[in-house]
Amino acid sequence: MGLSRLKVLFVFPNIDGTYRESYSFGLAAIVSTTKEDGYNPRVIYVNTRSEYQDVLNEINTFKPQVVGFSSVSSQFYFVNELAVLIKKDYPHITTVCGGVHPTINPACVLEGKGLDGVFVGEADHAFIEFLGKVENESDYKDTDNFAYSENGKLVVNRLKPLIADLDILPFPDKEISPYKEYVEWNNFSPFYFTRGCPYLCSYCSNHAIAETYGLKRNNPRYRSPGLCVSEIEEVINKIPTSLVYVGDDTFGLNRKWRKEFLAEYRRRISKEFVCVLRVDVISDEFMRDLKEAGCCRISFGLESGNDYVRKEIMHRNMSNKQIIKAFDIVHRYGMKTNAINIIGVPGETEEMIWDTIRLNRRVKPTVSGVNIFYPYKGTKLGDKCFEEGLVDEELYYSFSKERRETVLKYSEEFKERLVYYHQNWHCLVYPFNMKYRLKKLLRILRVLGFVSTLKRSVLSVVKKYRYNSA
pLDDT digits (tens, 9 = 90+) for 152-198: 999 999 999 999 999 999 999 998 878 888 888 888 999 999 999 99
Asked if pLDDT for residue 462 goes beyond 50, the answer is no
How confident is the model at residue 453, as a pLDDT? 54
pLDDT for 103-122, tens place per residue? 999 999 998 889 999 999 99
Asked if pLDDT for residue 394 goes beyond 80, the answer is yes
Mean pLDDT within 406-417: 96
Asked if pLDDT for residue 19 goes beyond 60, the answer is no
The region that residue 149 occupies, defined by phi over 0 for left and psi between -120 and 50 for alpha, beta otherwise, is beta
Contact 239, 190 (CB under 8 A): no
- Residue by residue, DSSP assigns 91-120 as TTSEEEEESHHHHH-GGGGGS-SS-SEEE-
pLDDT band at 262 (very low <50, low <70, confident <90, very high): very high
How confident is the model at residue 106, as a pLDDT? 93
Beta strand residue intervals within 237-373, DSSP E: 243-246, 272-277, 295-303, 336-343, 367-372
Q: What kind of fold does domain 7-156 have according to CATH?
A: Rossmann fold (3.40.50)
Best CA proximity match to 42, nearest among 76, 67, 5: 67
Measured between alpha carbons, how far apart are the two ends of the chain, in Å?
77
How confident is the model at residue 299, as a pLDDT? 97
Mean pLDDT within 234-249: 92
Alpha carbons 146 and 121: distance in angstroms, whole number: 9
Tell me the domain boundaries of the chain. Answer: 7-156, 187-432, 436-470
Higher pLDDT, 6 or 469: 6
How confident is the model at residue 467, as a pLDDT? 42
How confident is the model at residue 184, as a pLDDT? 84
Mean pLDDT within 6-12: 95
Distances (CA, A) of 397 to 47, 104, 193, 379: 18, 16, 32, 17
Asked if pLDDT for residue 101 goes beyond 60, the answer is yes
Alpha carbons 338 and 247: distance in angstroms, whole number: 13
Give CA 104 to chain center in angstroms.
Answer: 16
Average pLDDT of the chain, as a whole number: 90
187-432 maps to which CATH number? Answer: 3.20.20.70
Give the list of residues 6+ apart from residue 51 with CB closer than 8 angstroms, or none: none
Global pTM? 0.86
Q: What is the largest CA-CA distance in the chain?
A: 89
Mean pLDDT within 235-260: 93
CA dihedral angle for residue 54, residue 55, residue 60, residue 66, rounded to 10 degrees: 170
Alpha carbons 236 and 190: distance in angstroms, whole number: 11
Asked if pLDDT for residue 1 goes beyond 70, the answer is no
Asked if pLDDT for residue 468 goes beyond 80, the answer is no
Alpha carbons 268 and 263: distance in angstroms, whole number: 9
Asked if pLDDT for residue 465 goes beyond 80, the answer is no
Contacts 24+ apart (CB under 8 A), 387-392: 388/346, 390/346
Domains 7-156 and 187-432 share a fold: no
Asked if pLDDT for residue 437 goes beyond 90, the answer is no
Among the ranges given (49-53, 240-244, 273-277, 466-470), the one the predictor scored with the smallest mean pLDDT = 466-470
Alpha carbons 398 and 343: distance in angstroms, whole number: 22
**CB atoms inside a 10 Å sphere around CB 282:** 22
| DSSP element (H, E) containing 225 | helix 225-236
How confident is the model at residue 199, as a pLDDT? 93
Higher pLDDT, 353 or 468: 353
With both helix axes pointing from N to C terminus, report the angle between 350-363 and 412-429 in degrees, rounded to the nearest 10.
Answer: 10
Alpha carbons 129 and 11: distance in angstroms, whole number: 20
Asked if pLDDT for residue 434 goes beyond 90, the answer is no
